[in-house]
Structure 1
Amino acid sequence: MAAVAHIPKATKALVLRKRKSTSVLHDAVIEDRPLPQLQSGQILVRIHAAAFNHRD
């Protein structure tokens, strides 16, 4: 597989929010987040698909 010529500056993140009145997680949303800088010894993996359901 060839190396990626362009590394994106942002990524999508699934964020679970917690309401202040309870410890239960609510409101799963997808947000754009900045992609962290890679450090020495780290790799970047491209994910094409992922699944999430209420039992996860």
Structure 2
Amino acid sequence: MAKTFQLQAYLPWWFVLYLRACYVFAWMIGMEVDTDIVSAQAEKAIRFRKVEVIDEGNG
């Protein structure tokens, strides 16, 4: 039987920290964050991790 797995997308911890810092800084100076630029940066920073799928029907 073939072994199956799934890929789970996630953002690295350093990118999440960067986003929070950007939003806090923008809030402190009274500006807004451009969500289009943030979304483009997030797409580049996405990583994938392999998640093992356990088949509970067999065994």
Instruction: Output the TM-score relative to the length of structure 2.
Output: 0.27
Flag the structure with larger Rg: 2
- Between structures 1 and 2, the one with greater helix share: 2
Tell which has more relative contact order, 1 or 2 (C-alpha 8 A, sep 6+). 2
- Between structures 1 and 2, the one with greater strand share: 1
